[in-house]
C-alpha cells in the first residue's frame, strides 16, 4: 500500500488511491483543450493568410484577432499543463506537492485569462462594427462596450498579478505564514459575472444592427441565428458560476478547477 498522502482526506466511504487515481476529467481536459487549440489555430491561420497574402490588407480587428490568438495559445497550453500535476483528479488522490505545482501552473493561467477573454470579445465586436459600419447607432454602443471592457479588465489584471504578497504565496502559503492574499473567490466570481455580462452584450449589440440592415428577411434570420448560437457562451458562463461555488465549498480545486476552465 502506498504511504503517500492526499492533499485532503477523502469523503466518508471513499478510499483514496494515489497510485491509480480516478481519471475524472484529466483525459477530457487533454482532448478538449487540444481540439480547441487546433481548431482555433486553423481558423486564425486561414484568416491571416487570406488577409495578408490574398487581400493584402489587414484591419484593426485582424490584428486584435491575432493578439487574441497569441494569448489563447498560452492559456490553452497552461490548461493542458494542469493534467501533469493532478488536474482532473479528485484532490484527495493528489499529493500536496502536486497541488502546489498545480497552483503554480494555475498562476500564469490566471494572468492569461483576462487578456484572452477581453481580446476575443473585442475581436467579435470589431467584426460587427465593420460589417455594419454604416449604422451610426453601432458606434456609440461599441465605444461604450470597449470602455466597459477596458475599465474592468485593466484594474482586475493588476489584482491578478499581485494577488498575493509575496506572489509565491499563491501556490505555497505554508512557506509564507506572514503573507497576505486578496479574496480569490471574489476575483473568480467577478470575472465570471463580467464574462456572462459581456458574452450577452456581444450577442445582443449586433442584433438590432442586423435587423436594420438592408438584407432580405431570410438573410437577417440566418445572421441572427448564427449570433444566437453564441448564446451557448452565456450558458457556459452561468455554469462557471456554479463551479466557483463548488471549488470553494468542496476545496476540490484540482477537479472543479479543471471543469471551470473547460467551460471557459
pLDDT digits (tens, 9 = 90+) for 121-173: 888 888 777 766 655 556 677 788 888 888 989 999 999 999 999 999 999 99
pLDDT-above-70 percentage for the chain:
88
Q: What b-and-e string marks burial along 4-21, b requiring 16 or more CB atoms within 10 Å of the CB?
A: eebbbeeeeeeebebeeb
- What average pLDDT does the segment 231-255 reach? 79
> How far, in Å, CA of 118 to CA of 122, rounded?
6
User: Does the structure show a pLDDT above 90 at 76?
Assistant: yes
- For residue range 205-224, list pLDDT tens digits in order: 777 776 666 667 776 676 66
- pLDDT of 104: 97
- Write down the pLDDT at residue 160: 93
| pLDDT for the residue numbered 1 | 47
> 162-178: b or e for each residue (b if 16 or more CB lie within 10 Å)?
ebbeeeebbbbeeebee
pLDDT score recorded for residue 105: 96
What is the predicted pLDDT for the residue at 223?
Answer: 65
User: How is the chain classified by DSSP, letter by letter?
Assistant: -----BSSPPPTT----SSS---SSHHHHHHHHHHHHHHHHHHHHHHHHIIIIIS----HHHHHHHHHHHHHHHHHHHHHHGGGGTTTS-GGGSBHHHHHHHHHHHHHHHHHHHHHHHHHHHHHHHHHHHHTTT-HHHHHHHHHHHHHHHHHHHHHHHHHHTSEESGGGGT-GGG-TT-EE--HHHHHHHHHHHHHHHHHHHHHTHHHHHHHSS--HHHHHHHHHHHHHTHHHHHHHHHHHHHHHHHHHH--HHHHHHHHHHT-
Residue 180: what are its φ and ψ, rounded to 5°? -125, 140
134 contacts: CB under 8 Å, gap ≥ 6: none
| pLDDT at 73 (0 to 100) | 97
pLDDT higher than threshold 90 for residue 36: yes
What is the per-residue pLDDT for 140? 76
Separation of CA 119 from chain center: 11
Residues 6+ apart with CB under 8 A from 63: none
pLDDT-above-90 percentage for the chain? 50
pLDDT at 176: 94
Whether the Cβ atoms of residue 130 and residue 59 lie closer than 8 Å to each other? yes
Mean pLDDT across the chain: 86
Q: What is the mean pLDDT of residues 54-65?
A: 90
**In terms of pLDDT, which residue wins out, 134 or 42?**
42
Q: What is the mean pLDDT of residues 13-34?
A: 94
- Locate 39 and state its grid cell: 481548431
Burial class (CB in 10 A: 0-12, 13-18, 19+), 186: exposed
Inter-residue contact 113 to 192 (CB < 8 Å) = no
Residue 50 scores a pLDDT above 90: yes
More confident residue, 251 or 40: 40
Amino acid at each position: 500500500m502506498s504511504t503517500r498522502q492526499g492533499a485532503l482526506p477523502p469523503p466518508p466511504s471513499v478510499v483514496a488511491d494515489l497510485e491509480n487515481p480516478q481519471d475524472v476529467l484529466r483525459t477530457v481536459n487533454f482532448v478538449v483543450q487540444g481540439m480547441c487549440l487546433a481548431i482555433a489555430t486553423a481558423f486564425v491561420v486561414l484568416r491571416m493568410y487570406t488577409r495578408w497574402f490574398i487581400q493584402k490588407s489587414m484591419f484593426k480587428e485582424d490584428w486584435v484577432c491575432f493578439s487574441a490568438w497569441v494569448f489563447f495559445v498560452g492559456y490553452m497550453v497552461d490548461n493542458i499543463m494542469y493534467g501533469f500535476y493532478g488536474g482532473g483528479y479528485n484532490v484527495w488522490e493528489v499529493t500536496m506537492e502536486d497541488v502546489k505545482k498545480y497552483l503554480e501552473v494555475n498562476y500564469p493561467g490566471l494572468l492569461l485569462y483576462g487578456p484572452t477573454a477581453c481580446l476575443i470579445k473585442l475581436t467579435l465586436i470589431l467584426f460587427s462594427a465593420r460589417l455594419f459600419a454604416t449604422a451610426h447607432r453601432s458606434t456609440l454602443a461599441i465605444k461604450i462596450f470597449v470602455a466597459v471592457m477596458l475599465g474592468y479588465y485593466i484594474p482586475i489584471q493588476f489584482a491578478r498579478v499581485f494577488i498575493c504578497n509575496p506572489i509565491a504565496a499563491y501556490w505555497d502559503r505554508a512557506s509564507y505564514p506572514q503573507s497576505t492574499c486578496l479574496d480569490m473567490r471574489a476575483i473568480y466570481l467577478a470575472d465570471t459575472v463580467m464574462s456572462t455580462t459581456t458574452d450577452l452584450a456581444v450577442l445582443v449589440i449586433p442584433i438590432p444592427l442586423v435587423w436594420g440592415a438592408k438584407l432580405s428577411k431570410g438573410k437577417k434570420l440566418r445572421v441572427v441565428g448564427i449570433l444566437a448560437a453564441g448564446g451557448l457562451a452565456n450558458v457556459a458562463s452561468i455554469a462557471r458560476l456554479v463551479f466557483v461555488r463548488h471549488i470553494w465549498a468542496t476545496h476540490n480545486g484540482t477537479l472543479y478547477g479543471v471543469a471551470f476552465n473547460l467551460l471557459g
